Protein backbone atom coordinates (compact mmCIF):
# COMPACT_ATOMS: atom_id res chain seq x y z
CA UNK A 1 0.00 0.00 0.00
CA UNK A 2 1.46 3.34 -1.00
CA UNK A 3 1.85 6.33 1.27
CA UNK A 4 -0.98 8.36 -0.33
CA UNK A 5 -3.52 5.64 0.44
CA UNK A 6 -2.70 5.98 4.13
CA UNK A 7 -3.47 9.71 4.20
CA UNK A 8 -6.69 10.89 5.78
CA UNK A 9 -8.96 13.11 3.59
CA UNK A 10 -8.18 16.04 5.88
CA UNK A 11 -4.50 15.56 5.08
CA UNK A 12 -5.26 16.00 1.36
CA UNK A 13 -7.10 19.23 2.17
CA UNK A 14 -4.13 20.58 4.10
CA UNK A 15 -1.73 19.65 1.31
CA UNK A 16 -3.88 21.37 -1.31
CA UNK A 17 -4.15 24.47 0.86
CA UNK A 18 -0.38 24.55 1.38
CA UNK A 19 0.24 24.18 -2.35
CA UNK A 20 -2.24 26.96 -3.11
CA UNK A 21 -0.49 29.30 -0.67
CA UNK A 22 2.90 28.55 -2.21
CA UNK A 23 1.59 29.23 -5.71
CA UNK A 24 0.11 32.56 -4.55
CA UNK A 25 3.38 33.57 -2.92
CA UNK A 26 5.37 32.80 -6.07
CA UNK A 27 2.90 34.76 -8.17
CA UNK A 28 3.11 37.73 -5.80
CA UNK A 29 6.93 37.62 -5.88
CA UNK A 30 6.87 37.50 -9.67
CA UNK A 31 4.56 40.52 -9.86
CA UNK A 32 6.79 42.50 -7.48
CA UNK A 33 9.87 41.66 -9.54
CA UNK A 34 8.12 42.69 -12.76
CA UNK A 35 7.01 45.97 -11.19
CA UNK A 36 10.56 46.70 -10.02
CA UNK A 37 11.92 46.09 -13.51
CA UNK A 38 9.34 48.39 -15.04
CA UNK A 39 10.18 51.09 -12.50
CA UNK A 40 13.96 50.92 -12.99
CA UNK A 41 13.91 50.22 -16.75
CA UNK A 42 10.44 51.28 -17.92
CA UNK A 43 11.24 51.15 -21.62
CA UNK A 44 13.59 48.18 -21.79
CA UNK A 45 11.16 45.98 -19.84
CA UNK A 46 8.61 46.50 -22.61
CA UNK A 47 11.14 46.18 -25.43
CA UNK A 48 11.05 49.90 -26.35
CA UNK A 49 14.37 51.68 -27.14
CA UNK A 50 15.68 53.64 -24.16
CA UNK A 51 18.40 56.23 -23.58
CA UNK A 52 20.13 57.22 -20.31
CA UNK A 53 18.56 60.47 -19.12
CA UNK A 54 19.54 62.82 -16.30
CA UNK A 55 16.71 63.20 -13.77
CA UNK A 56 16.47 64.90 -10.39
CA UNK A 57 17.28 62.52 -7.55
CA UNK A 58 15.11 64.54 -5.14
CA UNK A 59 12.95 67.66 -5.02
CA UNK A 60 15.17 70.66 -5.74
CA UNK A 61 14.42 74.38 -5.26
CA UNK A 62 14.94 77.12 -7.80
CA UNK A 63 18.48 78.48 -7.61
CA UNK A 64 20.06 75.24 -6.37
CA UNK A 65 23.57 74.45 -7.61
CA UNK A 66 23.53 70.85 -8.81
CA UNK A 67 25.85 68.30 -7.19
CA UNK A 68 26.36 64.57 -7.67
CA UNK A 69 23.78 63.70 -4.98
CA UNK A 70 21.11 65.82 -6.70
CA UNK A 71 20.93 63.92 -10.00
CA UNK A 72 20.91 60.35 -11.31
CA UNK A 73 20.60 58.51 -14.63
CA UNK A 74 17.38 56.74 -15.62
CA UNK A 75 16.64 54.76 -18.78
CA UNK A 76 13.67 56.47 -20.43
CA UNK A 77 11.89 55.44 -23.64
CA UNK A 78 13.05 57.63 -26.50
CA UNK A 79 9.50 58.80 -27.23
CA UNK A 80 9.14 59.99 -23.61
CA UNK A 81 12.36 62.06 -23.53
CA UNK A 82 11.70 65.82 -23.80
CA UNK A 83 13.70 68.01 -26.17
CA UNK A 84 16.98 69.39 -24.81
CA UNK A 85 17.19 66.76 -22.06
CA UNK A 86 20.63 65.99 -20.56
CA UNK A 87 22.17 62.56 -21.11
CA UNK A 88 25.33 62.67 -18.95
CA UNK A 89 25.78 63.59 -15.30
CA UNK A 90 28.92 65.68 -15.85
CA UNK A 91 26.93 68.21 -17.91
CA UNK A 92 24.71 68.95 -14.89
CA UNK A 93 27.46 69.17 -12.27
CA UNK A 94 27.83 72.68 -10.88
CA UNK A 95 24.99 74.12 -12.95
CA UNK A 96 22.36 76.45 -11.49
CA UNK A 97 18.68 75.50 -11.58
CA UNK A 98 16.58 78.23 -13.14
CA UNK A 99 13.39 76.67 -11.73
CA UNK A 100 12.30 74.16 -9.11
CA UNK A 101 12.09 70.49 -10.14
CA UNK A 102 10.46 67.39 -8.66
CA UNK A 103 12.24 64.11 -7.92
CA UNK A 104 12.39 62.00 -11.07
CA UNK A 105 11.83 64.93 -13.43
CA UNK A 106 14.11 64.93 -16.52
CA UNK A 107 16.48 67.90 -16.59
CA UNK A 108 16.46 69.92 -19.81
CA UNK A 109 18.58 72.83 -20.98
CA UNK A 110 15.84 75.38 -20.17
CA UNK A 111 15.93 74.25 -16.53
CA UNK A 112 19.58 75.30 -16.22
CA UNK A 113 21.25 78.69 -16.15
CA UNK A 114 24.29 79.37 -18.33
CA UNK A 115 27.36 77.23 -17.69
CA UNK A 116 29.35 79.79 -15.73
CA UNK A 117 31.35 78.75 -12.64
CA UNK A 118 29.65 79.85 -9.44
CA UNK A 119 32.80 79.85 -7.34
CA UNK A 120 34.29 83.25 -6.60
CA UNK A 121 36.45 85.30 -4.30
CA UNK A 122 36.67 84.39 -0.60
CA UNK A 123 34.16 86.28 1.51
CA UNK A 124 31.52 86.35 -1.22
CA UNK A 125 28.42 84.30 -1.94
CA UNK A 126 26.32 83.63 -5.02
CA UNK A 127 22.71 84.74 -4.49
CA UNK A 128 19.88 83.79 -6.87
CA UNK A 129 17.21 86.48 -7.30
CA UNK A 130 14.29 86.68 -9.70
CA UNK A 131 13.90 90.15 -11.17
CA UNK A 132 10.55 91.89 -11.36
CA UNK A 133 11.00 92.87 -15.02
CA UNK A 134 12.02 90.38 -17.71
CA UNK A 135 13.18 93.23 -19.99
CA UNK A 136 15.86 94.24 -17.47
CA UNK A 137 17.18 90.70 -17.25
CA UNK A 138 17.62 90.62 -21.04
CA UNK A 139 20.16 93.47 -20.73
CA UNK A 140 22.40 91.51 -18.38
CA UNK A 141 25.37 89.31 -19.14
CA UNK A 142 27.95 87.52 -16.94
CA UNK A 143 30.53 89.90 -15.46
CA UNK A 144 28.25 92.97 -15.55
CA UNK A 145 28.19 95.11 -12.40
CA UNK A 146 24.78 96.15 -11.09
CA UNK A 147 23.11 97.70 -8.06
CA UNK A 148 20.30 95.67 -6.50
CA UNK A 149 17.17 97.70 -5.75
CA UNK A 150 14.07 96.62 -3.84
CA UNK A 151 10.91 98.10 -5.35
CA UNK A 152 8.75 100.38 -3.17
CA UNK A 153 5.68 99.00 -1.42
CA UNK A 154 2.98 100.67 0.69
CA UNK A 155 4.79 102.11 3.68
CA UNK A 156 8.18 100.97 2.36
CA UNK A 157 10.27 103.19 0.06
CA UNK A 158 12.54 101.86 -2.66
CA UNK A 159 15.96 101.01 -1.29
CA UNK A 160 19.36 99.95 -2.60
CA UNK A 161 20.10 96.53 -1.16
CA UNK A 162 23.59 96.12 -2.62
CA UNK A 163 25.98 98.12 -4.78
CA UNK A 164 28.39 96.71 -7.33
CA UNK A 165 27.03 93.18 -7.39
CA UNK A 166 28.51 91.06 -10.17
CA UNK A 167 26.23 89.08 -12.50
CA UNK A 168 27.41 85.45 -12.54
CA UNK A 169 24.79 84.10 -14.90
CA UNK A 170 21.27 84.72 -16.19
CA UNK A 171 18.83 81.84 -16.36
CA UNK A 172 16.06 81.12 -18.84
CA UNK A 173 12.64 82.64 -18.33
CA UNK A 174 10.86 79.28 -18.02
CA UNK A 175 7.78 80.75 -16.29
CA UNK A 176 6.74 82.59 -19.44
CA UNK A 177 7.14 79.46 -21.57
CA UNK A 178 4.87 77.49 -19.27
CA UNK A 179 2.31 80.21 -18.86
CA UNK A 180 2.69 80.14 -15.09
CA UNK A 181 3.78 82.68 -12.54
CA UNK A 182 3.07 86.40 -12.43
CA UNK A 183 3.20 88.29 -15.75
CA UNK A 184 6.44 90.14 -16.46
CA UNK A 185 8.38 88.13 -13.88
CA UNK A 186 11.96 87.90 -15.06
CA UNK A 187 14.29 84.89 -15.11
CA UNK A 188 16.54 83.86 -12.28
CA UNK A 189 19.75 85.89 -12.04
CA UNK A 190 22.73 84.74 -10.02
CA UNK A 191 24.59 87.62 -8.37
CA UNK A 192 27.85 87.54 -6.46
CA UNK A 193 27.76 89.60 -3.29
CA UNK A 194 29.80 90.01 -0.11
CA UNK A 195 28.83 87.50 2.58
CA UNK A 196 27.84 90.37 4.88
CA UNK A 197 24.85 91.35 2.72
CA UNK A 198 24.14 88.22 0.68
CA UNK A 199 21.67 86.76 3.17
CA UNK A 200 19.77 90.06 3.50
CA UNK A 201 19.43 90.41 -0.28
CA UNK A 202 18.23 86.81 -0.62
CA UNK A 203 15.62 87.27 2.14
CA UNK A 204 14.26 90.60 0.87
CA UNK A 205 14.06 89.32 -2.73
CA UNK A 206 11.56 86.70 -1.51
CA UNK A 207 9.34 89.37 0.08
CA UNK A 208 9.52 92.33 -2.30
CA UNK A 209 9.97 92.76 -6.07
CA UNK A 210 13.63 93.27 -6.93
CA UNK A 211 15.31 94.93 -9.91
CA UNK A 212 18.79 96.12 -10.79
CA UNK A 213 20.35 99.30 -12.17
CA UNK A 214 23.19 98.95 -14.65
CA UNK A 215 26.66 100.41 -14.10
End-to-end Cα distance, the chain: 105
pTM of the model: 0.47
The closest alpha carbon to 113, from 90, 132, 94, belongs to 94
For residue range 135-194, what is the model confidence (pLDDT) as tens digits?
A: 888 888 777 889 999 887 777 777 888 988 888 877 755 444 444 344 446 678 888 888
Compute the average pLDDT of residues 19-30: 73
Q: Give the per-residue pLDDT at 177.
A: 40
The CATH architecture of the domain made up of 46-111 is Alpha-Beta Complex (3.90)
Which of 1-15, 66-80, 151-165 is predicted most confidently?
A: 66-80
Q: Give the per-residue pLDDT at 16.
A: 67
Q: Give the per-residue pLDDT at 82.
A: 86
Distance (Å, whole) CA 75 – CA 40: 7
Give the phi and the psi of residue 161 in degrees, each rounded to 5.
-85, -35
Distance (Å, whole) CA 148 – CA 160: 6
Tell me what the pLDDT averaged over the chain comes to.
76
pLDDT greater than 60 at residue 207: yes
Q: Tell which wins on pLDDT, 20 or 210.
A: 210
Q: Give the per-residue pLDDT at 34.
A: 64
Compute the average pLDDT of residues 47-71: 84
Check residue 177 and report its DSSP letter: H
Give the phi and the psi of residue 189 in degrees, each rounded to 5.
-120, 130
pLDDT greater than 60 at residue 4: no
Per-residue pLDDT band at 118 (split at 50, 70, 90): low
Q: Give the per-residue pLDDT at 54.
A: 92
Per-residue pLDDT band at 103 (split at 50, 70, 90): very high
Residues near 123 by Cβ (< 8 Å), separated by ≥ 6? Answer: 194, 195
Sheet containing strand 210-214, edge to edge, reads: 124-130, 188-194, 159-170, 145-150, 210-214
Amino acid sequence: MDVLSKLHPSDFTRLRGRRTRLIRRWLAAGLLLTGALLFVHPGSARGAPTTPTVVAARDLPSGAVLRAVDVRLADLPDEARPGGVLSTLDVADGRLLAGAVRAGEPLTDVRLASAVPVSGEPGTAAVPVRLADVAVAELLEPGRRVDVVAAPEPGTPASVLASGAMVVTVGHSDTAAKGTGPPGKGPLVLLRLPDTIATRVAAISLERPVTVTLR
